[in-house]
Structures are given as C-alpha cells and as structure tokens.
Amino acid sequence: MDSTYEMGPGGLECLGPHSSFLGLDLPETGFEGVRALIIPAPYDGTTTYRSGTREGPRAILAASRELELFDEETCTEAYRHGIATLAEVPVTVSSPRDMVDNVRAAASSVISAGKLPVLLGGEHLLSLGMIEAVAQTWQNVTILHVDAHADLRETYQGSPYSNACIMRLALKHASLVQVGIRALTAEENDFIRDRHIPCFFAYQLHRQPELYGRILPALGENVYISIDLDGFDPSIMPAVGTPEPGGLGWYEVLSLLRLVTKNRRVVGFDVMELLPIPQTAAPDLLAARLVYKLLSYIFLDNPLPC
C-alpha cells in the first residue's frame, strides 16, 4: 500500500491514488468533498470450504483502477461526488468477535463524519460490524441481503460468530429481507417461516420474475445492502468460497439495486466474499463495477449534468 493521509474526525486515514478505489486521490476540497468512504477488511478467519477471501478487498481495489469513470446507464461520473478509500481495517486474529468490533469502530467513525460507509470483504461475518454501526445511527433499518446462503444458523462449528451465522446475529439490530437464497438447512428454513422473514428464493425469482416487484414493499425506509458475491450465478462469478448453481444475473441484480436506491434511503452497503482466481480478471472487475454501479445509483439524488 502507498502513503496514507490523515483526515477528518477520528484521525481517519485514506489511501493514496496507487492503492485507492478507482485510483482516486482526495478531492481538491479535502475531507469535506468526500461523500463515500470505502473500508477494506482483509479477513477470512471463519470461512469454510475454500479460504482466501482475505485477498478480496485488494483485488477489488486493483480491478477498480481499470474501470471507466463514466457510467453509461446513469449518464454520470459518480467519482465526482467524492469517493475515498480508508486504510485497511487492522486484522485481529484473537477472535472473530474482535474483528467484527474493529469493523464496527471503522464504520462508526465514517458515519460520525457524515459519510456513507462501504465495506469490501473479506468474509461475510464482518458485515455484522457495519450493521451494528448503522443501527446505532438510523432507526428501523432493513437489511437487503443478496446471497446464495441464508446465513441464519444459530451456531456453526461451535461458535455463533461465523459467516454461516451473520444474518442470525444481524437480526438483533435490524429487520431482514433475503434475495437469491438457494442453500440452507431445514432448521434455517423453519426459522425463516417462523419469523416471517421475507425470503425470495432463487428458484422462485427465475420462474416468476415478477416477484422482484414484491421486494421493495418489504423494505423499510432505511436500507443497508449486504451482497455476498455468491448470490450471483457462478457462470459470471466463480470467484467465491462456495459457488452455488442457479444464481442471479448481472442485470437482474442491478435492476433491483436501482429500484431500491431510487425509493429508499441506503445508509451503507457491503460487497463481500470475493475469492480471487489467479489470471482470471472478470470476477474482480464484476465486484469493482458493482461497487461503482451502486454508488452511481445512490448519488443519483444529486446527479451531475449529462
């Protein structure tokens, strides 16, 4: 990583252009000109099957520096609204809960500074730190959870602090809407039914695309978007720890995200679980483009002249 710059409340440090998202330096207006702060969190201490998502944040940042800054769909250049990248969240190996606390502390500093927090993972458990921080500021938050897995286990391998339990833990702080699920236990299925969690299974969305129209009404005013990249079909996103067939398509997800950002307040989001494949650039670029697309949609409340 290249040099960092201390800026803003809480001594937040941002990366220089050789390591930042999109290769951006700080705006000429400095901290005041930053609207969104990227939080890289390189940790995968509780991953199962295939590990390596700790390399995901750097891969996303590297791929982002190859993106075009103009978005043809929104006719905007979202970077002009101010995007900066924080130094990586310090990795703590003592316990997963400590790592969640590190993410929460970073996200809280970003929110206190009046900026939009954007987490790059790393394993999905880290989203809990973001959700805890967001819930301390915003009332009645709904999590829009795009994923192949329900992540509603009470414990996994003897611990509640696992990527397989993230949404069970998050329900203590926010309500939940799940999209694209296609791998879960019988107990998780019962939990969804008993708790009346709106869950839009992947097979249902493929057979009845009109069901996408029911997702928005299930969301509250304030939405936190959590995207596990295995929510996408592995034909376009093979670079995940547990790829499941039958996932969502690129434009399906984008259409949903644009609808949500147009009609709800997005108070933060994450893109998690990229497991880079050597010599395969497409998944890294998809993840980076997804981040930029979502920022483009969020910033449309104050679009630039086209």
pTM attached to this predicted model: 0.95
Residue 157: which pLDDT band, with cuts at 50, 70 and 90? Answer: confident
* C-alpha span between 184 and 190 (Å, rounded): 10
Please name the residues in contact with 224: beta carbons below 8 A apart, sequence gap of 6 or more: 130, 131, 134, 141, 142, 143, 144, 174, 266, 267, 268, 269
Q: Tokens standing for 228?
A: 């596990």
Q: How many residues does the chain have?
A: 306
> Which SS3 state, helix, strand or coil, does residue 32 take?
helix
**Which pLDDT value is given to residue 301?**
66
**Which pLDDT value is given to residue 8?**
66
Q: Tokens standing for 135?
A: 């819930």
| pLDDT, mean of residues 135-156 | 96
Residue 304: which pLDDT band, with cuts at 50, 70 and 90? Answer: very low
What region does 268 belong to: left with phi over 0, alpha with psi -120 to 50, or beta? left
Of the candidates 219, 46, 40, the one whose C-alpha atom is nearest the C-alpha of residue 130 is 40
Which pLDDT tens digit goes with each residue over 169-225? 999 999 999 999 999 999 999 999 999 999 999 999 999 999 999 999 999 999 999
**Which pLDDT value is given to residue 87?**
94
Which pLDDT tens digit goes with each residue over 219-277? 999 999 999 999 999 999 999 999 999 999 999 999 999 999 999 999 999 999 999 99
List b or e across 79-104, with b for residues whose CB sees 16 or more CB atoms inside 10 angstroms: bebbbbbbbbbeeeeeebbebbebbb
DSSP-H helix ranges across the chain: 56-64, 96-112, 127-137, 166-170, 186-194, 202-207, 250-263, 282-298
| pLDDT, mean of residues 297-302 | 83
**Cis ω before 122 (30° cut-off from 0):** yes
* C-alpha span between 57 and 59 (Å, rounded): 5
3-state helix, strand, coil in the chain (%, to 5): 40, 20, 40
Of the candidates 299, 298, 276, the one whose C-alpha atom is nearest the C-alpha of residue 63 is 276
Domains and their CATH numbers in the chain: 4-301 (3.40.800.10)
Looking at residue 156, the DSSP 8-state letter turns out to be: B
Q: Over pLDDT 70: what percentage of the chain?
A: 95
Q: Tokens standing for 220?
A: 């509250």
